[in-house]
Each structure stands twice: as C-alpha cells, then as structure tokens.
A = this chain, B = another copy of it.
C-alpha cells in the first residue's frame, strides 16, 4: 500500500555533513501513503484538486511531525528567496525605528522575511550587497541612503530590485519618500497658530537639496501668514561639533525669536541643552519644535513637541513597492497616504 521509501539509504553515495533528520515532504508522503507532489499541493499549492480525506490526513501528519518546509529548496525551485533586506549605513543614529516596524509588518503580511543589514561605508559595500541578490539569497534591497553617488545606476544595471527611502540622493526616482513639504508647512503653521511672530529655523545642511526644500517649505508658509524670518535667525546644525552653542550665543539680542523650529530632532535636543545651560528657559522663554518623532523626544527635558512623520506607512509602502518589482513589475511611484501630525509635549508655549 505505502509508497516505497526512497529515503531508505540504500547505498547512499555519501553521508551528508551535519546529518540531522529533517521532516520533509517525503516523510509526510510516506506516512500517508501518497506522493510528495500531493503533499506539496496540500501544504502550499493553491490548487483545490485534492480529496478532502487525503488533505486532512496530510495536514494531520504535517502537524504531528512538526513539518517545516525547507525554504532553501523552495526558493531554489521558485527562483525567489522570499527575503528582502533593509540596508543601512548606521545602526546607532538609526533610520527611524518606525520605518522598520512598518516595513516588517508589510513584509510579514506578504510572507516575506525582512532582514536588516549594516553596510560599511567603504567601496566594497555596494558590490557585496549586489552579490547577495545575485547569489539568490535576497530578492531586493531597501536603502536608507545610497552608499555612494551613482550607485543606483549600478543597481539598475545589475537588475537588482531596490527602493530608496530618501529621494534626495541620486536614485533615479526609485524612492518612497515622506512628504517633507507638508511636514514643514505643518511645523510652521503650528508655531504661527500659537501666536509666535519672531521665529527661527535650524536646518541640517545649508546646501543639500532636501535641506533647501524643507527650509523653503517652512519659510514660505510663514511668509504667507505675514511672518518674515530674518536671515540671522536661520541656522544650520550638524550632528557633531558645537553648532548649537554658537547658535545660542548668536541669538541673545532683544529681538531674539520666541520660537525655534528645527529640521532634526537631534538639533532640537542640542539646542535645548545649550539654551538651558545659558539660562534661557524652554519653553517659557523660547519654544522649540523638532522634526520627526522618536523615543529621544519624550526623554528630553523638557519633552519635545515634534512633527511626527508617517514613517511607519512609508516603510510599509516601500516594502510593497519593492515586492511588486521583485515579482517582475516595474517601479510604480506611489505617495505615502498618511500625513504628518504634531505631537504636543512640553517644549512649546502659546505666545504671548
């Protein structure tokens, strides 16, 4: 009755390394007296053409034996690994954790495995990531940022499905980004709504494309509401160095701003620090609002009011777009549906 057991080691050519007996489709097939293909259909196939009784028997056996399909064999056959990678240069000042959460969720929904990968900033980072795809380990890559300019062209040449989470680098449009314009408009409107008239702004880099866009969104929103930000109240703050201290030193005039918006959370925190050390109170003397929300914001003293961006949705959308490309589709640009919101904490006060 039962099928011949081909597992039976009859003169096997050689002994496998790491010999631990696995539960395979064949184990189940043998136990149920059916063919592996039938088992395969039941376990994974969407085909319904299997008898109810057989199906039940197979499912029971699978459960009983604690069957785990071998992803490697499956992937080899299907020519798809079912795994994607989110590559990032830095794991401390991280990609906003919410992006990862969103991406994770989406991947899970699609039965895909999402790994994170830290790449070194050297020259070999790119090629070695591309190899991962070429070796079949990974189906596609999500980038927080390209390791170097013009790398996106290399990816395209190598036919590697990828999506960038930052559209301001040279990524040939394959990016899913946040609507920073909307975010900075909201930031500006928030301060204006609170009644502030003398407002300052801290950008990240003076010259970068993204930085300019954000600054302009902020300034033009204020302008439309009749508020001009003088050049001397527009600063830039790097993550390292003591820019924050210099900024504070420079604002101690009679016409100092009553509120300062920062384009980064880090800069907002450092500004807070420096202000307080100088004896200027936050928010009583100067209100501060950050951009992007994170655990750091609420641990700050005072807890920071920020513009929270829909990073979670961004991560999810990026994964979905990537998987479409993996499935053979072209990249199809879509906008993150959700919008920003203000998270009110304690660093902003109504003025006057």
Main secondary structure of the interface of A (DSSP, over half): mixed
Q: How far is the CA of A85 from the CA of B137 in the complex (A)?
A: 14
Residues of B within 8 A of A7 (CB): none
How often does this chain occur in the complex, in copies? 2
1/0 per residue A109-138: CB within 8 Å of B?
000011111101000000000011011110
Residues of B within 8 A of A120 (CB): 104
1/0 per residue A72-94: CB within 8 Å of B?
11011011110101000011111
Report whether B70 and A136 are in contact in the complex, using a CB–CB cutoff of 8 Å.
Answer: yes
A side interface size, CB within 8 A: 59
Q: How far is the CA of A132 from the CA of B69 in the complex (A)?
A: 10
Report whether A81 and B92 are in contact in the complex, using a CB–CB cutoff of 8 Å.
Answer: no
Closest to A19 in B: B79
Report whether B116 and A328 are in contact in the complex, using a CB–CB cutoff of 8 Å.
Answer: no
Report whether B78 and A70 are in contact in the complex, using a CB–CB cutoff of 8 Å.
Answer: no
Q: How far is the CA of A299 from the CA of B327 in the complex (A)?
A: 44
Stretch in A166-174, A188-196, A224-232, A270-278 touching the partner: A270-278
Report whether A239 and B299 are in contact in the complex, using a CB–CB cutoff of 8 Å.
Answer: yes
**Given A92-B294, A270-B299, A273-B273, A75:B78 Cβ within 8 A:** no
Residues of B within 8 A of A115 (CB): 85, 115-117
Residues of B within 8 A of A73 (CB): 76, 136
Residues of B within 8 A of A274 (CB): 301
Report whether B137 and A79 are in contact in the complex, using a CB–CB cutoff of 8 Å.
Answer: no
Report whether A137 and B273 are in contact in the complex, using a CB–CB cutoff of 8 Å.
Answer: no
Q: How far is the CB of A267 from chain B (nearest CB, A)?
A: 11
Q: How far is the CB of A236 from chain B (nearest CB, A)?
A: 16
Residues of B within 8 A of A135 (CB): 68-72
Residues of B within 8 A of A295 (CB): 92-93
1/0 per residue A148-160: CB within 8 Å of B?
0000000000010
Residues of B within 8 A of A131 (CB): 68
**Given A118-B104, A135-B69, A135-B70, A91:B97 Cβ within 8 A:** yes
Residues of B within 8 A of A93 (CB): 295
A20 in contact (CB, < 8 A): yes
**Given A68-B134, A115-B117, A239-B299, A80:B18 Cβ within 8 A:** yes
Residues of B within 8 A of A270 (CB): 299, 301
Q: How far is the CB of A168 from chain B (nearest CB, A)?
A: 23
Report whether B116 and A79 are in contact in the complex, using a CB–CB cutoff of 8 Å.
Answer: no
Q: How far is the CB of A301 from chain B (nearest CB, A)?
A: 5
Q: How far is the CB of A63 from chain B (nearest CB, A)?
A: 14
Residues of B within 8 A of A16 (CB): 79
Partner of A132, one of B76, B92, B113, B298: B113
Partner of A118, one of B78, B116, B245, B277: B116
Q: How far is the CA of A126 from the CA of B113 in the complex (A)?
A: 15
Residues of B within 8 A of A75 (CB): 72
Report whether B276 and A136 are in contact in the complex, using a CB–CB cutoff of 8 Å.
Answer: no
Q: How far is the CA of A32 from the CA of B288 in the complex (A)?
A: 69
Report whether A92 and B85 are in contact in the complex, using a CB–CB cutoff of 8 Å.
Answer: no
Closest to A68 in B: B134
**Given A92-B294, A295-B92, A100:B118 Cβ within 8 A:** yes
Q: How far is the CB of A154 from chain B (nearest CB, A)?
A: 13
7 pairs, CB–CB < 8 Å, chain A vs chain B = A16-B79, A70-B136, A73-B76, A85-B115, A92-B294, A113-B137, A115-B117
